[in-house]
């Protein structure tokens, strides 16, 4: 009994050296993590500090309405002899110069930095809508095929590998693909095929001409759809696989066909996950610059896509003519080129001389952009929480 104190410790070891190593490993891992957090926080803080004052106002209505509701334009800054600067647009410049008279010293013009950023916001929204609709349709269809119909084997594994590889393709390559495929080659119905048309099929009343859709929302949206397809296919397939096999068996045992089973007993329960992944896809699509550079986006455009001059209808035009014009105005939105937020930011940062005014426009755009993407991500998290609760099994 008294022996215990004198027994040699059978588990003796070099404690100090082991502990030192443990501590070193733990701290290096912790520091790496903290470094990442620090970088993220400083990026976000930098943009908030520089961008928020441009977007928000201290008095009612608390947001910079002009910045969010006007199209971008050239900013004119007029200095008087005392060095006081007055900002205006192209229409206001002359009046101010006349008013200053002999006191006028100089006028600076800064491209793209005046007005607001409504054009880029609308353009990005349209591109995202088209790309998500296209990508969801194609993506969910192929995920259903891969998960529910295709027999497991080498061929399906090859297809999966190809889809995963698609995710690794640089986005500028997608841009060039979009230029070749959608801008220059995709088929259109037209009465007068262009000379550049690769070939056109006469249909009697019109031609089906492979001359492309030009630079427009549709071309850009389709290109972006292919950028986000791998994400959507992979995520949708995982969501479908997560639906218990028992639901399929039960449904089949009740006499449902395969499609009925998918439509009634699989898809509804995979939808929350599919929607979540698609919202992350939206954030990705909204952020891409390279794929839309050659396919949809312009550095500058002084009209919104629906502000197109159509020939005025005669006074006695029929209902049908009005209806037809509304439709063509609506469809016209998708065949217009647009401005887009990421491309606008790129233009402000890299294509014009840098000064305090361009910087202001730039930080404002980046801030708005960041808030949009963050709110999309937040929506996805909220939706996942809500729907998970409803469809738990």
Q: Which residues bind other proteins (CB under 8 A)?
A: 151, 244, 246-247, 249-257, 260, 264-265, 269, 390-393
Token output for 276 = 């979540």
Cβ at position 390, least distance to other proteins in Å: 8
DSSP 100-169: HGGGEEEEEEEEEEEE-SHHHHHHHHHHHHHHHHHHHHHHHHHHHIIIIISPSSHHHHHHHHHHHHHHHS
CB-nearer residue toward other proteins: 259 or 323: 259
The DSSP letter of residue 5 is G
Q: Are 193 and 200 in contact (CB under 8 A)?
A: yes
CB-nearer residue toward other proteins: 251 or 362: 251
CB-nearer residue toward other proteins: 28 or 257: 257
Cα–Cα distance measured from residue 10 to residue 12, given in angstroms and rounded to the nearest whole number: 6
Cβ at position 267, least distance to other proteins in Å: 12
CB-nearer residue toward other proteins: 320 or 393: 393
Q: How many CB atoms lie within 10 A of CB 368?
A: 22
Cross-strand partners of 78: 86, 107
Cβ at position 236, least distance to other proteins in Å: 19
Residue 219's Cα: distance from chain center in Å? 15
Alpha helices in 169-316 (DSSP H): 171-178, 217-242, 245-253, 258-261, 267-287, 290-293
Q: Is 363 helix (H, G, I), strand (E, B) or coil?
A: helix
CB-nearer residue toward other proteins: 98 or 390: 390
CB-nearer residue toward other proteins: 60 or 393: 393
CB-nearer residue toward other proteins: 212 or 273: 273
Cβ at position 391, least distance to other proteins in Å: 5
Q: Are 275 and 235 in contact (CB under 8 A)?
A: no
Cβ at position 186, least distance to other proteins in Å: 39
Per-residue CA distances from 6 to 14, 168, 188, 348 (Å): 20, 65, 95, 79
CB-nearer residue toward other proteins: 153 or 312: 153
CB-nearer residue toward other proteins: 98 or 392: 392
Cβ at position 158, least distance to other proteins in Å: 19
Does an H or E element contain 69, and which?
A: helix 65-69
CB-nearer residue toward other proteins: 250 or 355: 250
Cβ at position 218, least distance to other proteins in Å: 38
Which residue in the block uniquely carries the two structure tokens 């759809």?
225
- Of the candidates 290, 288, 303, 289, the one whose C-alpha atom is nearest the C-alpha of residue 337 is 303
Give the pairing of strands 104-115 and 200-202: unpaired
Cβ at position 392, least distance to other proteins in Å: 7
Cβ at position 266, least distance to other proteins in Å: 10
Q: Are 388 and 65 in contact (CB under 8 A)?
A: no
- Of the candidates 281, 302, 288, the one whose C-alpha atom is nearest the C-alpha of residue 345 is 288
Cβ at position 278, least distance to other proteins in Å: 21
């Amino acid at each position: 009994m008294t022996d215990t104190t004198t027994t040699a410790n059978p588990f003796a070891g070099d404690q100090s050296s082991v502990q030192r190593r443990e501590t070193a490993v733990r701290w290096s891992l912790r520091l790496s993590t903290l470094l990442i957090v620090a970088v993220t926080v400083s990026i976000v803080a930098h943009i908030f500090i520089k961008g928020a004052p441009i977007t928000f106002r201290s008095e009612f209505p608390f947001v910079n309405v002009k910045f969010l509701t006007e199209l971008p334009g050239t900013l004119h800054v007029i200095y008087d002899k005392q060095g006081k600067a007055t900002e205006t647009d192209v229409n206001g410049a002359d009046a101010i110069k006349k008013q200053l008279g002999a006191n006028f010293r100089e006028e600076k013009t800064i491209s793209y930095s005046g007005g607001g950023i409504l054009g880029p916001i609308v353009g990005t929204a349209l591109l995202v809508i088209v790309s998500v609709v296209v990508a969801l349709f194609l993506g969910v269809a192929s995920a259903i095929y891969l998960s529910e119909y295709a027999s497991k084997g080498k061929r399906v594994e090859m297809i999966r590998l190809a889809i995963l590889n698609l995710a690794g393709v640089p986005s500028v390559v997608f841009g060039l693909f979009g230029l070749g495929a959608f801008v220059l080659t995709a088929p259109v119905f037209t009465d007068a095929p262009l000379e550049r048309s690769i070939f056109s099929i006469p249909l009697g009343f019109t031609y089906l001409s492979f001359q492309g859709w030009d630079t427009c929302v549709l071309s850009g949206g389709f290109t972006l759809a292919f950028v986000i397809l791998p994400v959507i296919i992979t995520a949708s397939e995982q969501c479908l696989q997560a639906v218990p096999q028992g639901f399929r068996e039960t449904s089949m045992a009740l006499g449902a066909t395969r499609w009925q089973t998918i439509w009634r007993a699989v898809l509804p329960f995979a939808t929350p996950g599919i929607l979540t992944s698609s919202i992350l896809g939206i954030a990705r699509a909204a952020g891409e610059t390279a794929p839309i550079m050659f396919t949809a986006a312009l550095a500058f455009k002084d009209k919104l896509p629906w502000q197109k001059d159509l020939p005025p209808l005669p006074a006695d035009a029929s209902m049908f003519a009005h209806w037809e014009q509304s439709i063509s105005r609506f469809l016209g939105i998708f065949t217009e080129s647009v401005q887009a937020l990421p491309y606008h930011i790129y233009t402000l940062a890299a294509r014009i001389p840098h000064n305090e005014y361009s910087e202001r426009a730039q930080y404002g755009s980046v801030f708005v952009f960041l808030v949009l993407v963050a709110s999309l991500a937040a929506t996805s998290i909220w939706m996942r929480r809500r729907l998970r609760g409803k469809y738990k099994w």
